[in-house]
Amino acid sequence: MNEWIAQYVALPIHERLRGRRTMACYQSLRQSERLNSTDLKLLQEHKLLMLMRYCWAKVPFYQHRFQELGIEKEEQITLGLFQRLPPVERVDVREQLNDMVARGYKGRLIRHTTGGSTGEPLVFYTDMDKESWHNAAKLRGRAWYGVEPGSRQVDFWGSPVELDKLDAFRVFKDRWLLNHIVLSAFDLTDDGLARDAMLLRQFCPRLVYGYPTVLYHVALFMERQPEAFEGWRPELITCTSEVLYPNQRRKIEEVFGCPVGDEYGSRDGGHLAHECPAGRRHIPAEHVLLEIDKPDEEGVGELLVTNLDGYGMPLLRYRVGDLVKLLDDPCPCGMALPTLGQITGRMTDFIIGKDGTLIHSAAAVYVLRELSDLKQFKIIQREDLSIDVMLVRSPPYQEEQLKGIRRKMQQMLHMEIPVRFSFVDFIPPGKSGKYVTLVSEVKESPQ
């Protein structure tokens, strides 16, 4: 499809038919991204107050919470109350789901389930309006790089289950009307990637979207077989869902010859930030309000999310679980949208030492990075705290090379635990299709 027609005709009609007003939200976001920080704050506060009053009137869960703060009527709801509301925990959603859905909500509710890194499924609802803003904010992030809505896009995505669910009509419609193709993130064998390369050359997407681990893998293949991709280069790579490590970014940018724009979000929290060409992750502050719970001396703490447009099942101060930091210095790109600093993932992303020391998996990655030509790895901490490291590298490393790594890991954890290395051809993704670099089987902290 001609990209202009896709952007101005096919995509708006498609979104409307699905019940979303994505393109109107997109236009609105393109306007509001030029606001200064004072006006952005006013807009946020206005939306927040409306949402709080709505929660008081329609959502039993928050009615109770406000009553606990001594509120008796709507006029008493003020912005000052917001930070006195206790954060909403996953357990609240699990146990009080029905009370969190707005009474008499007129829009359509969409049911979601998330596995989460803990493996316990969580059911929650979003609504069409919230999804429209969420999709629009993603589209805006790409437009910062000149990739407009309707541009040809290829995703490396999904678990086989999800891909099987796509019917032939949907595949046809996505490709020929919306310029969108989804490729499997599972078949990363040389044969599979050679087939993908053929399609990429033929379709010439401007945007490639996927997990950093997968795109890194594609880049390594592209580096080995550049002729398979001749004549095609994307304009933007967007990474999502996992932490993007600097070595992955360097390799992807070098091989694909274009910038990487990192996207950050979570299934339950929605789209929370998109990197701009100046390298900062901007928060779509018109749509979400982010706070840090109990920040440490460096400003890092657990992320709380409020979706300002989520009226079907409002989440006020929802604890996403990631450890992040908010930055307050202005971005060189000129936008006043606030920015997110480091994202260190969830508590479950940690290895634990006998004395209770928590080491983030990223630290272990730094140690492993000393190994040359390492293609993929996975760290598993067993219940007895010993560690298994799976490595993809051919030929395998010599025992001499591994000794130093083992010693460093033990030093990092302050303990002489067994660290075992094994070599495999390929490390498959987890059930959700997401690559997990660390799996902790430790049930409780030793302390």
Residue nearest to Zn ion as judged by C-beta position: 333
In terms of CB distance, is 331 or 380 closer to Zn ion? Answer: 331
Query: How far separated are the first and last CA of the chain, in Å rounded?
Result: 60
Q: How far is the CB of 423 from Zn ion (least distance, A)?
A: 42
Q: Choose one: 93-101, 148-156, 219-227, 323-331; the region binding Zn ion (CB under 5 A).
A: 323-331
331 binds Zn ion (CB under 5 A): yes
Q: How far is the CB of 212 from Zn ion (least distance, A)?
A: 20
Q: Choose one: 16-24, 167-175, 271-279, 301-309; the region binding Zn ion (CB under 5 A).
A: 271-279
Q: How far is the CB of 337 from Zn ion (least distance, A)?
A: 8
Residue 230 structure tokens: 């001749």
276 binds Zn ion (CB under 5 A): yes
In terms of CB distance, is 132 or 339 closer to Zn ion? Answer: 339
Q: Choose one: 9-17, 152-160, 287-295, 328-336; the region binding Zn ion (CB under 5 A).
A: 328-336
Q: How far is the CB of 331 from Zn ion (least distance, A)?
A: 3
Q: How far is the CB of 276 from Zn ion (least distance, A)?
A: 3
β partners of residue 72: none
Residue from 90, 140, 152, 280 touching Zn ion (CB under 5 A): that is 280
Strand duo 236-239 + 207-210: pairing: parallel
The residue whose two tokens read 């049930």 is 443
Q: Choose one: 191-199, 275-283, 301-309, 417-425; the region binding Zn ion (CB under 5 A).
A: 275-283
In terms of CB distance, is 166 or 278 closer to Zn ion? Answer: 278
Q: How far is the CB of 98 from Zn ion (least distance, A)?
A: 41
In terms of CB distance, is 153 or 339 closer to Zn ion? Answer: 339
206 binds Zn ion (CB under 5 A): no
Q: How far is the CB of 278 from Zn ion (least distance, A)?
A: 4
273 binds Zn ion (CB under 5 A): no
281 binds Zn ion (CB under 5 A): no
Q: Choose one: 72-80, 85-93, 269-277, 314-322; the region binding Zn ion (CB under 5 A).
A: 269-277
Residue from 81, 333, 380, 427 touching Zn ion (CB under 5 A): that is 333
278 binds Zn ion (CB under 5 A): yes
In terms of CB distance, is 179 or 339 closer to Zn ion? Answer: 339
Q: Choose one: 332-340, 367-375, 426-434, 439-447; the region binding Zn ion (CB under 5 A).
A: 332-340
Q: Choose one: 92-100, 102-110, 115-123, 327-335; the region binding Zn ion (CB under 5 A).
A: 327-335
Using CA atoms, how far apart are residues 32 and 39, in angstroms rounded to an integer? 9
Using CA atoms, how far apart are residues 372 and 393, in angstroms rounded to an integer? 9
Q: How far is the CB of 55 from Zn ion (least distance, A)?
A: 32
Q: How many residues bind Zn ion (CB under 5 A)?
A: 5
Q: How far is the CB of 329 from Zn ion (least distance, A)?
A: 11
Q: How far is the CB of 400 from Zn ion (least distance, A)?
A: 46
The 3-class SS string of the chain reads CCHHHHHHHHHHHHHHHCCCCHHHHHHHHHHHCCCCHHHHHHHHHHHHHHHHHHHHHHCHHHHHHHHHCCCCCHHHCCHHHHHHCCCECHHHHHHHHHHHCCCCCCCCEEEEEECCCCCCCEEEEEEHHHHHHHHHHHHHHHHCCCCCCCCCEEEEECCHHHHHHCCHHHHHHHHHCCCEEEEECCCCCHHHHHHHHHHHHHHCCCEEEECHHHHHHHHHHHHHCHHHHCCCCCCEEEECCCCCCHHHHHHHHHHHCCCEEEEEEECCCEEEEEECCCCCEECCCCCEEEEEECCCCCCCEEEEEEECCCCCCCCCCEEEEEEEEEECCCCCCCCCCCEEEEEEEEHHHEEECCCCCEEEHHHHHHHHCCCCCCCEEEEEECCCCCEEEEEECCCCCCHHHHHHHHHHHHHHHCCCCCEEEEECCCCCCCCCCCCCCEEECCCCCCC
User: Which positions lie near Zn ion, rule CB under 5 A?
Assistant: 276, 278, 280, 331, 333
